[in-house]
A and B are shown apart, each in its own frame.
Chain A
């Protein structure tokens, strides 16, 4: 339609500014739905933490703080490299873009691997709610509630990390093959917003589950 013919302009937008603003607004609204999505679990957490504060504190000691802390560091670092990737994309610096996306993707994988070991340990000691539950504590069955919330929250978060790893992996390949020129920098920026959001969720999950027993 438009005469200045920007190759990155979709047919139904009038100009590139309109397109950028729409995509950006869309991403923020999507993140809003994500907040409501995780909000349901945090709401349940709040209710039960008020009902059973002692159980929550005691169970928190059974989570692996070392692994959790390492994972926090890994994820925060990946947010930094993601921000650098966005910057590189906007300035059209291909080599740095590929590196930064690659590091971010790798950090996501490391996070998931560490998470796998944490989960495996819980299967091993039987602190998985439901049929596999064999974990003995003074709180009996009630302790399953804590682990239900733990697996629900970290599971959903892990799923988001996994999706992020796949998308960032695809972006890395695209950048490598010169398919992410400066004009497409907004793609990297939007994935960056998503990745920072995933990071932010973890910033809430980590203290609420791992650290509450340690004050």
Chain B
């Protein structure tokens, strides 16, 4: 912080000691704690992926031993899913913005919010320990009986880490639900809430209802691994497939924990950079709830080839198709918002537009996989890998980066280099497609996922993928440089650098500790941009 003139008091310069950060109950500071920690895990998980992508340049995997390869892709999956994607937007942008956007001074339970960060770190420490101590080789899905009876790697401690990190996610969701219900400012009715809040509300419902089931599942799996309990053990009459049912009962809704907040961010971005009220506000709001609700009824589509009854498969397939409806409602409404808007292509908007394209590809290929007959061919191939990376990386991560760029001036009070931001947004988009589009093809041709070796005729696709991931890597590293540089050399941000609507843009950047200096009364709809005569 510079010492020029008198800087107004804000949440960043309120105190400078380490203690004031580690024991803070300010939701904005906790968001920063989360931001730093999830960024660390993101680059760790990314590094693992980069190493095994290098290894996959050659059909016989010259760089790594097969055992190391297995441990690396597991490390990538476990870290990215449980320590990056699930907390990414809710714990950072959500933590920072949910109270501000509804006109509250903090989340309903500030101490529980801090505790959630400590639980996250404790879970992360367990998982790191498991990695340093030799790693895990089960894949992030921990399918029994391999994980409980046969794997010779650190399964139990990883499961403990996931159990603990799960509670941090539960506490985040629980805090958001109570805050959104009880702490809205006068005049902030449900249908005046920004769609970011609706998305977080839907996400929180999933966190609160699904995560406990994951917790009890990994608890039972850990008991089996450590003490030889028999719930998933066929030799004791148990059913290994029951683990898959319980696991996907969480892990499919968890996909929506990752993508819904991102859809919320994109709604904000599209509206702000088209200078228009979001088209079909209520439909977009309810489509978040619909995605959350349907998300609980589709887990069986992960198990079409796992001895599940074909009749059950048909039902799961049909309900999975239904998810396309609310997803399409969102995409169509976002696109319709652009129509006759004053669209400006600032860097957050580039991410948002990239999001829409990639989310559509990811979503439509999901239809292929939800179809029983095609899934038999595509199941457990690179096609699946490409599909969920289009949703998780092309969708969730693009939304996260777009949101981070959009609210960075609010969070830090500094402006970053727009030139470099546009370059890195372009690199991410190009690198991403280069990495994952070839995987659709090689998967369709029959290359199974998670295999260390592949037939030589597939090499061209894998080389493209690896080259793409290198470009993608640069797209992630450049923002770290210019965003950190902006803290020192960036211009001071005004309260509302994008001239956007929303309570967060009416307070100073960075906001004061109590968020608002006076009482907040909301008198207008969300996104009340001036209407243009056509």
Contact = CB atoms under 8 A, between A and B. Distances in A.
Given A22-B181, A51-B239, 4 more contacts: A18-B183, A25-B178, A148-B230, A152-B220
B105 A12 contact: yes
B178 A22 contact: yes
14 contacts: A18-B183, A22-B179, A22-B183, A32-B208, A33-B211, A36-B213, A38-B216, A40-B212, A40-B215, A44-B220, A51-B237, A52-B237, A129-B228, A151-B229
A145 B236 CA distance: 6
Contact of B182 (A18, A130, A144, A145): A18
Interface in A1-46: 1, 11-13, 18, 21-23, 25-26, 29-30, 32-34, 36-41, 43-44
A22 to B, nearest CB: 4
Interface string B206-229: 001111110111011001100111
Contacts of A32: 208-209
A74 interface: no
A131 interface: yes
Contacts of B220: 40-41, 44, 152
Interface residues of A, number: 41
B174 interface: yes
Max chain B C-beta neighbours (<10 A), residue from A148, A149, A151: A148
B212 A12 contact: no
Contact of B228 (A12, A130, A142): A130
B2 to A, nearest CB: 30
Nearest to B227: A130
A26 B223 contact: no
A26 B236 contact: no
Interface stretch (B76-84, B106-114, B309-317): B106-114
A12 B209 contact: no
A41 to B, nearest CB: 6
Contacts of B246: 40, 43-44
A117 to B, nearest CB: 21
B237 A22 contact: no
Nearest to A25: B178
A95 to B, nearest CB: 31
Nearest to B112: A26
A123 interface: no
Contacts of B514: 1, 11
Interface string B63-87: 0000000000000000000000000
B110 A130 contact: no
Nearest to B224: A148
B238 interface: yes
A131 B183 contact: no
B413 to A, nearest CB: 22
Given A47-B239, A141-B235, A30 B174 contact: yes
Given A25-B181, A152-B229, A141 B208 contact: no
B177 interface: yes
Nearest to A42: B216
A40 B229 contact: no
A135 interface: no
Given A22-B178, A32-B208, A40 B213 contact: yes
B398 interface: no
A206 interface: no
Interface of A: 1, 11-13, 18, 21-23, 25-26, 29-30, 32-34, 36-41, 43-44, 47-48, 51-52, 55, 129-131, 133, 141-142, 144-145, 148-149, 151-152, 156
Closest 7 CB pairs of A and B: A130-B228, A40-B216, A37-B212, A12-B106, A142-B237, A36-B212, A148-B229
B236 A142 contact: yes
A116 B25 CA distance: 40
A72 B361 CA distance: 56
B242 interface: yes
A129 B238 CA distance: 12
B231 interface: yes
A48 B232 CA distance: 11
B170 interface: yes
A53 B55 CA distance: 51
Contacts of A33: 170, 174, 208-209, 211-212
B182 A141 contact: no
A1 B514 CA distance: 10
B230 A145 contact: yes
Contacts of A37: 212-213, 215-216
B104 interface: yes
A26 B215 CA distance: 20
B229 A129 contact: yes
Contacts of A156: 216, 219
Contacts of A22: 108-109, 178-179, 181-183
A56 B496 CA distance: 66
A131 to B, nearest CB: 5
A43 B242 CA distance: 10
A186 to B, nearest CB: 13
A28 to B, nearest CB: 10
A130 B239 contact: no
Given A11-B105, A131-B228, A26 B237 contact: no
A48 B220 CA distance: 15
A144 to B, nearest CB: 4
Contacts of B229: 129-130, 144, 148, 151-152
Given A22-B182, A29-B177, A44-B242, A152 B231 contact: yes
Given A11-B105, A44-B242, A25 B231 contact: no
A65 B167 CA distance: 35
Contacts of A152: 219-220, 223, 229, 231
Contacts of B219: 152, 156
A26 B178 contact: yes
A22 B182 CA distance: 6
A22 B184 CA distance: 12
B517 to A, nearest CB: 11
A29 B215 CA distance: 16
Nearest to B235: A141
A126 to B, nearest CB: 13
